[in-house]
């Protein structure tokens, strides 16, 4: 397997992104709900920060998959030191037979979709790996976020929301995206791809950043993050979820 983009920045990523208590992660886990006894797939799991939280919350089986060998190796090291029963797979989610015969009750992806170039195949693979009625819960930088003070938006400054594609940020505070780049997609592209592969959008949330996240340009007054729960199969009547404060 070819070297992944995150292999070159693995140490930087691990040191800067190693908690599961940020507003977006909290919202993602809230959308997922009670995981006790469930089989969960964590897509683009990295070194396992969300994966470990899923196991700690009582999931019966947790599997993390990532294309970065360096990050997966780190996740395996942590699992050996503090066993939680997690299985890690070093594989490209968009490759044939990335998850042969696997079946899960739910899947999560915390900011990983923008790192995956082939969204269509990735969503197809997740769909095939879930049981009917299974939930796919994910979080991304809001496709409508135009950027803040020294913070890159969802699309290049010289482009527009309607220009989809891979690009690399230049903004000082976008420390990760200056190194690994990002794929910008319109909100309609995400929703259309989910629907193409049998998912129905069940709930959409837009968590606000932490206070002072961008005081100079007040970006926390505009959409910055997006979290969603999509369910595989035909829509069914549901009771409205209680309001959340995020």
| In the chain, where the domains are located | 5-215+225-232
pLDDT digits (tens, 9 = 90+) for 133-170: 999 999 999 999 998 888 889 999 899 999 999 999 98
Q: What is the pLDDT of residue 236?
A: 62
Task: Report how far residue 123's alpha carbon sits from residue 129's, in angstroms, rounded to the nearest whole number.
Answer: 10
Residue 242 has pLDDT above 50, yes or no: no
Judged against a pLDDT cut of 80, whether residue 246 lies above it is answered with no
pLDDT band at residue 225 using 50, 70 and 90 as cut-offs: very high
Determine the 3-state secondary structure of 11 from DSSP. Answer: helix
- The percentage of the chain sitting over the pLDDT mark of 90, rounded to a whole number, equals 70
Residue 76: Cβ within 10 Å count: 17
Confidence bin at 1 (pLDDT 50/70/90):
low
Determine the topology of domain 5-215+225-232 in CATH: Rossmann fold (3.40.50)
Torsion sign across C-alpha atoms 8, 65, 182, 27: negative
3-state secondary structure of 123: helix
| Residue 215: pLDDT band with limits 50, 70, 90 | low
Mean pLDDT (whole number) for 213-234:
82
Q: Can you give the pLDDT at residue 2?
A: 53
| pLDDT score of 37 more than 50 | yes
Cα dihedral 95, 99, 103, 109 sign = negative
Whether 130 and 136 have beta carbons less than 8 Å apart is answered as yes
Report angle CA 58, 124, 202 to the nearest 5 degrees.
60
Least confident of 7-21, 95-109, 157-171, 189-203: 7-21
What is the residue-wise DSSP string for 151-196?
B--SS-TTS-TT--EEE----TT-TTHHHH-EEE--HHHHHHHHHH
Alpha-carbon separation of residue 44 from 31, 217, 221 (angstroms): 18, 31, 29
- Residue 174's pLDDT is 83
In this prediction, residue 216 carries a pLDDT of 61
- Residue 15: pLDDT band with limits 50, 70, 90: confident
């Amino acid at each position: 397997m070819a070297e992944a983009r995150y292999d070159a920045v693995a140490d930087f990523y691990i040191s800067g992104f190693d908690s599961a208590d940020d507003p977006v992660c909290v919202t993602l886990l809230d959308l997922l709900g009670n995981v006790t006894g469930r089989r969960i797939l964590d897509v683009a799991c990295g070194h396992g920060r969300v994966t470990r939280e899923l196991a700690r919350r009582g999931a019966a089986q947790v599997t993390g998959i990532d294309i970065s060998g360096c990050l997966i190796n780190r996740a395996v090291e942590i699992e050996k030191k503090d066993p939680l029963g997690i299985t890690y797979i070093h594989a490209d989610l968009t490759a044939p037979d990335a998850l042969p015969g696997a079946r899960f009750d739910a899947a999560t992806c915390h900011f990983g979709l923008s790192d995956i170039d082939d969204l269509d195949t990735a969503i197809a693979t997740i769909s095939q790996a879930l049981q009917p009625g299974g939930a796919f819960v994910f979080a991304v930088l809001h496709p409508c976020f135009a950027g803040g003070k020294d913070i890159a938006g969802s699309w290049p400054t010289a482009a527009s929301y309607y220009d989809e594609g891979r690009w690399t940020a230049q903004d000082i505070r976008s420390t990760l995206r200056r190194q690994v780049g990002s794929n910008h997609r319109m909100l309609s592209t995400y929703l259309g791809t989910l629907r193409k592969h049998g998912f129905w959008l069940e709930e959409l949330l837009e968590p606000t950043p932490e206070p002072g996240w961008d005081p100079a340009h007040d970006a926390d007054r505009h959409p910055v993050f997006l979290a969603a729960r999509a369910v595989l199969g035909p829509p069914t009547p549901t009771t409205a979820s209680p309001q959340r404060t995020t």
